[in-house]
Amino acid sequence: MIFYNPAGAPELACEQCGCRWFDRMTNTCYECGAEVTPQMQAEFEQALKDFQANGPEKK
């Protein structure tokens, strides 16, 4: 799950519990242990690229 912080930057959250903390050594959520899938990583990478290209959205 991708959400956007107040500055407009994307942040990755666990699909299962919504936690934003991940163990990078095991590629799992700290809270529930769910795996960060390659698809989740790809979606987040794309969101980061979009943010870098467009900057924060103006409201």
Residue 50: exposure state from Cβ atoms within 10 A (0-12, 13-18, ≥19): exposed
pLDDT at 55: 74
Question: Is 38 in a helix, a strand, or coil?
Answer: helix
pLDDT at 57: 64
pLDDT tens string 6-47: 989 999 999 999 999 999 999 999 999 999 999 999 999 999
pTM for the whole structure: 0.79
pLDDT at 58: 54
**Start-to-end C-alpha separation, the chain:** 22
Residues 22, 40: contact at Cβ < 8 Å?
A: no
In the chain, the amino acid numbered 15 is E
